[in-house]
């Protein structure tokens, strides 16, 4: 099912946005992409669930220091250990991300980076992903997925 917004010509008032990366396939509706994303994400989490592992930063010894002034008075700072802070790593995060990219790739999507649409850029809004041009940008209007649009 294809859902599309009425074709509008608007002036965007987006500033300070940097853009981002999105899954793209020309001619596919954004709602279809979102269903495909959810399906692939669920499959990736099923195949490669979160497995948290506790790790520690390297620990090292800082030796004692003796600092003396010109009068021969010395201060000794005892040695001590640094590091060893605890952190948690999801050991499946990287392989899950690869599985997600593979699943979306098998469905015909490519992961691409696009800039945010600049302030004052006139675009034609549509939920169907257009052909890429030199001016293609991401239009974000609140919650929900960003729209891939071309300037008019």
pLDDT confidence of residue 7: 26
Per-residue pLDDT tens digits for 57-95: 999 999 999 999 999 899 999 999 999 999 999 999 999
Q: Which two tokens stand for residue 94?
A: 């990287």
Per-residue pLDDT tens digits for 38-47: 999 999 999 9
Measured CA to CA, the distance from residue 82 to residue 61 in angstroms comes to: 6
Measured CA to CA, the distance from residue 9 to residue 123 in angstroms comes to: 6
Q: State percent of the chain over pLDDT 70.
A: 88
Does the pTM of the predicted model rise above 0.85? no
Q: State percent of the chain over pLDDT 90.
A: 72
**Phi and psi at residue 89, to the nearest 5°:** -125, 130
């Amino acid at each position: 099912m294809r859902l599309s917004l009425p074709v509008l010509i608007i002036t965007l008032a987006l500033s300070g946005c940097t853009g981002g990366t999105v899954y793209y396939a020309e001619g596919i509706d954004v709602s279809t992409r979102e269903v495909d994303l959810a399906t692939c994400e669920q499959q990736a989490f099923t195949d490669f669930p979160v497995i948290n592992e506790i790790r520690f930063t390297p620990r090292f010894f800082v030796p004692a220091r003796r600092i003396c002034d010109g009068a021969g008075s010395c201060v000794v700072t005892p040695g001590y250990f640094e590091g060893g802070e605890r952190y948690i790593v999801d050991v499946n995060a990287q392989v899950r991300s690869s599985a997600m990219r593979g699943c979306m790739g098998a469905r015909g999507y490519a992961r691409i980076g696009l800039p945010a649409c600049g302030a004052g850029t006139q675009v034609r809004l549509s939920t169907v992903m257009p052909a890429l041009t030199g001016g293609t940008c991401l239009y974000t209007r609140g919650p929900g997925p960003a729209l891939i649009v071309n300037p008019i």
